[in-house]
Amino acid sequence: MIMEEIVFKSDDLVIMNLINYFITEQNYNPMIIRGINDEIWLENLSNDYKIIRIVSHHIHNKEQFDFDKFKLGRIVKQVKKKTLSFKVKVLNIYTDIENKSLLTENDIAIMTESDIKSSKLPSIFPNIIEKTDRKENSLEFFIKVTDSINKKNEKRSKEAAKIFSYKKPVITYALIAICVIVFVMMYLFGNGSEDSMTLINFGANFDLLTKNGQYYRLFTCMFLHIGIVHLLCNMYSLYVIGKEVENVFGKFKYIVIYIASGICGSILSLAFAHNTISAGASGAIFGLMGALVYFGYYYRTYLGAAIKSAVIPVILINLLIGFMNPAIDNAAHIGGLIAGILTAMMIGIPNKSTKVEKINGAVLTFLYVCFIVYMAFFK
């Protein structure tokens, strides 16, 4: 039997080494760019360089280099739209360029593995020299790289499955049930959901009472609704939005977001309501939408289109309707929306948020609560 030796070209090994490093050590993900040949695009939206682009085709003159930059600009515009990013910093790594003087600030030429050490890559990624130091022969290295990338992708798949897989929205069902039961009780033990005294007796937010010590109304009003249409609209919204937020954040974090948003919405409502009864879950629901937008920003490669085409327009349309209709408590909506975003920032996004981001979220949430309490009770 004749064994034929497998031979890898030098630039193949360079590319494999770089890909392995960026995927396994820097958490970059491969991007699929249609119509692009001899290029590898990697994205990590949490990194300063959101995109690493490895160009393997030969760049032999200035005209070809300029065309490459023109093509890059067009694709980056598409990436910005898809990822809801205002700025996308790209690091271009050329593995076969004839004239290195053409390179600009965000361009690097890596022709051989030894070029990694002498390039500016170590100043950007301090551990790259250590992690790309290859001791295996070409075939062993190819097997090692393939195995490590497969393990990384398997880990990511499990993490994504854990977050996005369907879980029964028990808390959402429970919240809907509570609101419906309270609604029925207002008719059984009072004069109905549109009667002022019944609403007050059941815990509606009424500035004259809430500001004079009955602070529990900031919470209880979240479960009251004025009329069947109000109830049905809010419960449908809660069912649609709530189950998604519960699914991606988990039950405990979902409860925290819901209650915090509802209470903050109730507090801000007091700042603008005078001798007015207010009730409803809409402040909390707007908070859930805010949390979903914040989650979608971190997972915008998956949810960017849905957030941009569905969630954000729904928020804007509902706020616009609120401004046009004086009977709608838009202050509660805005208060809940902001609280939902800040609370989501404070409790963190699974597998994404850093400790620093959570601390910043906690500080901003505290300052926000102080501000709306001042607006409602002291101004």
What does the H/E/C string look like for the chain? Answer: CCCCCCCCCHHHHHHHHHHHHHHHCCCCEEECCCCCCCEEEEECCCCCCCEEEEECCCECCHHHHHHHHHHHHHHHHHHHHHHCCCCCCEEEEECCECCHHHCCCCEEECCCCCHHHHCCHHHHCCCHHHHCCCCCCHHHHHHHHHHHHHHHHHHHHHHHHHHHCCCCCHHHHHHHHHHHHHHHHHHHCCCCCCCHHHHHHCCCEEHHHHCCCCCCHHHHHHHCCCCHHHHHHHHHHHHHHHHHHHHHHCHHHHHHHHHHHHHHHHHHHHHHCCCCEECCCHHHHHHHHHHHHHHHHHCHHHHHHHHHHHHHHHHHHHHHHHHHCCCCCHHHHHHHHHHHHHHHHHHCCCCCCCHHHHHHHHHHHHHHHHHHHHHHHHC
State the amino acid at position 5 in one-letter form: E
- Based on the residue annotation, tell me whether 282 is a catalytic residue of this protein: yes
* Nearest-10 Cα torsion for 233, 236, 239, 244: -80
Beta bridge partners of 59: 97
Nearest to 169 by CA among 51, 258, 105, 108: 258
Is residue 129 a contact partner of residue 18, using CB atoms and an 8 Å limit? no
**Active-site residue (options: 261, 269, 333, 353):** 333
Give the phi and the psi of residue 325 in degrees, each rounded to 5.
-115, 110
Q: Which of 237, 269, 278, 282 is catalytic?
A: 282
Q: Among all residues, which ones are annotated catalytic?
A: 282, 333
